[in-house]
Chain A
């Protein structure tokens, strides 16, 4: 199995896992319906109200919202994984220009995910 196969499988598995969680989350609204928590405010709450690090742990509560959040995180993580695999791929090919290029792309992603939100929070507060 060469790298291109790994990449193909990584993308497909990412989308499938994500879709499973998203569909399960949507079904949970109707199956495990506890009308008490399905209020308008809860259903239409947005991503600023949740701590991303808590999401995987909260899955056990079978609250549909965490399934939706988790599915979305897996979806966003899929192309990022793809870039990460790309770095290893170019290291193995000893193609150093592209190791650097791919590392820059990965760095940009990390800045957008981890650094900018904190920076923006400081500015906007």
Chain B
């Protein structure tokens, strides 16, 4: 029995640190890969896989967040303002998934998860054309919500001053980001970046670090509801959190060295593969 538990823990740690590595290399976060691997290959029921994965996003968000704050790129005001929408979205998303699980409608979350994975392919392939956004005229929200900031960009070698616009559009997208996070147990960082980078016209670095800062608070909201409904399995969640933390750490070390495009294509292929499998599972085909 003890030996079997040891083997199982080892498999969990390997699977979750692998997810953590590719999650950090693609910038999608470990959870995106974790839930498909757990449900498709390790036979873990979706609610437990989502619960463990949501917990692991808090670990990576807080772990990386403590490092980012030193660089002062994270915009705490913009992040906090948008968290009104992500926490509300997460509440609605988690309650929706409680309804789905209690009515045994799991196929819905498999289909949505597959769709989310496949939609990331586009994001992966068109990523980072411009580091800084084209300057846009400030609107009333810029002034009222103080959507301004500056940071020192080490790559560009200059101080960057920026301002955000369309706060309401950012909030709207953030509600959906929170909803998806609560529904699928992922950080939904890509959607958060979209809200800040595309909707609010913020620099890429500000969007990604602020998104990371927000993921922890969003996931804590969902976790509380998951917890109450018994979707957190401590053994699974603990092993996963530790594994993803290790993986994310290794990922950031590799990231410094790898900038090759071919690697991005390999990860994109993994995304497509897992996405199709999740959809097939949702439609009731094998796997």
Contacts and interface: CB of A to CB of B under 8 A. Distances in A.
B is a partner of A = yes
Interface stretch (B106-114, B117-125, B197-205, B233-241): B233-241
Given A112-B221, A116-B225, A75 B239 contact: no
Contacts of B40: none
A4 B74 CA distance: 11
Interface size class of A (residues with CB under 8 A): 35 or more
B282 interface: no
Interface in A1-37: 4, 7-9, 11-12, 14-15, 18-19, 22-23, 25-26, 29-30, 33, 35
A99 B9 CA distance: 44
B6 interface: yes
Contacts of B269: none
Contacts of A109: 87, 217, 220-221, 224
A18 B221 CA distance: 18
Contacts of A121: 228
A7 B69 contact: yes
Nearest to A42: B235
A38 B5 contact: yes
B238 A26 contact: yes
A8 B230 contact: no
B160 interface: no
Nearest to A7: B69
Contacts of A7: 69, 76
Interface of A: 4, 7-9, 11-12, 14-15, 18-19, 22-23, 25-26, 29-30, 33, 35, 38, 43-49, 52, 65, 68-69, 71-72, 75-80, 82-83, 86, 89, 95, 97-98, 101-102, 104-105, 108-109, 111-113, 116-117, 120-121, 124
10 contacts: A8-B67, A25-B234, A26-B235, A46-B48, A48-B230, A72-B55, A75-B59, A78-B58, A109-B221, A117-B229
